[in-house]
Amino acid sequence: MLTFRNTAVVYVLLILGLMTYDYSHELSIWYYVVPFVAVSLLVAWGSYFIRSGFFLKAFCDGDKNKSQVAITFDDGPHEQTPLILDVLKKNNAKAAFFCIGKNFRGKEEIVKRIAEEGHLVGNHSFSHSNFFDFFSVKKLLEDVSKTDALILQTIGKKNRLFRPPFGVTTPNISQMVAKNKYLVMGWNVRSYDTSIKDRGKLLHRVLTRMQNGSVILLHDSTPGMDEILQKVLDHAKAKNLNVVSLEEMFAIKAYEPV
Ligand SMILES: [Zn+2]
């Protein structure tokens, strides 16, 4: 089976092969180099695509037989979040907000409002550091624990949901997740709303991919997100797709019982 452990074994064997390679031997060195490069690419792919389930299991795909979609926002709380909440309220839709701990300061009321209006608050790390993927397990635990503490302090709930920054997963992140018994929340519709500047293109990308079981990744911080969200909700309605919470879609509990 394609897992990190099995791949690590192949990796070690290949390295041993390269180390003990007898250069006078007839067997070409490419017999080692080509698989080595292939396995390296595989590991890179496994890290980058959360859906691969390579390093850890993430909830990414809802039931294809149910006309349901889930909407998720990363990187808040943000000054634009209240506008997003207004749209959700107007359309009676529920979403999940994966918040960055360092963004809480001065925006605690926004996080409170997210929870009060029936949306989920999840952990998206404290630092959202570009080096998050290189943190030791200890440093990862320190980082995410700070956000869990802030969530508890702000909304009075013990968080269970984690979404890795940049969606990148590594063996260390996998260990941290196991230690904290997190439910890792992925997605299957990536909007690329932080990089696609053309709103038409962005909407086209999301709307054409929306179907039964879609988990859509958006960001609170994308300019005009409230209007984009309204279009996404209109499309869901037109296609008879119910916008449900991640709890409903995956039959999970986002918080630990008190
Ligand atoms: Zn993020």
| 74 catalytic per annotation | yes
Choose, from 124, 148, 219, 226, the residue flagged as catalytic: 219
What residue segments make up the domains of the chain, in order of their start? 4-48, 58-256
Cα(129) to ligand 1 centroid in Å equals 9
Give, for all 258 residues of the chain, the pLDDT tens digit: 456 667 777 788 888 877 777 767 667 778 778 888 888 888 888 777 777 788 888 999 999 999 999 999 999 999 999 999 999 999 999 999 999 999 999 999 999 999 999 999 999 999 999 999 999 999 999 999 999 999 999 999 999 999 999 998 889 999 999 999 999 999 999 999 999 999 999 999 999 999 999 999 999 999 999 999 999 999 999 999 999 999 999 999 999 987
Would residue 219 show up in a list of annotated catalytic residues for this protein?
A: yes
Cβ distance 101 to 150 under 8 Å? Answer: yes
The CA distance from 93 to 96, in Å, is 10
Instruction: Please give the DSSP secondary-structure letter assigned to residue 245.
Output: -
Alpha-carbon radius of gyration of the chain: 21
Task: Name the helix (H) or strand (E) containing 68.
Answer: strand 68-76
Neighbours of ion ligand 1 (CB under 5 A): 74-75, 165
Give the pairing type, strands 58-59 and 183-185: parallel
Question: Tokens for 171?
Answer: 């063996």
pTM attached to this predicted model: 0.87
Alpha helices (H) in 117-254, listed in sequence order: 137-155, 171-180, 199-209, 225-238, 246-250
CA of 127 to the centre of ligand 1 (A): 10
Decide: helix, strand or coil at residue 53.
Answer: coil
CA of 72 to the centre of ligand 1 (A): 11
CA dihedral 193, 199, 202, 203 (to 10 degrees): 120
Q: What is the CA(128)–ligand 1 centre distance, in A? A: 7
Nearest to 111 by CA among 220, 186, 216: 220
Q: Is domain 58-256 in CATH 2.40.10.220, yes or no?
A: no
DSSP class of residue 182 equals: P
